[in-house]
Amino acid sequence: MIHTMKLFAAAAACALAGTVQAGINFPPPWANWAQQGATTHWYWNFSNGPNNPQGQGVPGTPPPQITFTGGATWVQPNATQPGVICIPGGGSVVVCIPNYDSPIHQKFIWVQTDYFGGPEPVISAGFGPAGSDGGPWGPTVTPSPSPTGGLISGAGWQLPFCPPGEYITISNPNPGSVTYITWLNIDTICISTPGSAALLGAGSLLALRRRR
């Protein structure tokens, strides 16, 4: 109960302060809440390949893994430049994140990408390999310029329970186009139903602030 109250206070404060701002990333509403044991944070800059995440996950579980479909791949122009994920039309990348397993709690996922060269990637999330079981959760970030010269986008997803792992699918459904991902940031939180209601309320406030 104490943790739930802390989350509500932190989420409300973030909403009122307008936490979602342009920059290298858009922190999720729970970013400033010092909860232990129920959050994960992973970040990829693709400098040394696709499966080199930085961050923290669930102790004792392996790090996330990325798989490619439809011609998507990791490319590196030359040895002096960082690599990128290349997603042609019809291609996608799927990220599997081993995570907390709690059927009585809910899971929130916050995904951010920095992309260039093509259309904004389409993101879905879920507890199956197709990554389409989740429901959208705000706030949604309108693409904004990034320091790397690309565009940053962000979107949230909600699952009805905390599965042992989540699948995030990032795809490009536009034939004849190619989208390049320069970095990827995925945050998750597993929280009880009362706390999730407070978090959703904060997300709605954030979305309203961005539309004004």
pTM: 0.81
What are the residue boundaries of the structural domains of the chain, listed by start? Answer: 36-190
What is the bridge-based pairing of β-strands 106-116 and 151-159?
Answer: antiparallel
What is the band of 196 on the pLDDT scale with cuts at 50, 70, 90? low
- Whether 2 has a pLDDT exceeding 70, the answer reads no
- Exposure pattern of 114-126 as b/e (b: 16+ CB <10 Å)? bbeebeebebbbb
pLDDT tier at 141, thresholds 50, 70, 90: confident
Residue of 53, 34, 18, 45 whose CA lies nearest to 182:
45
Instruction: Give 73-81's long-range contacts (Cβ < 8 A, gap of 24+).
Output: 74/46, 74/49, 74/50
The CATH architecture annotation of domain 36-190 reads Sandwich (2.60)
Bond into 29 cis (ω within 30): no
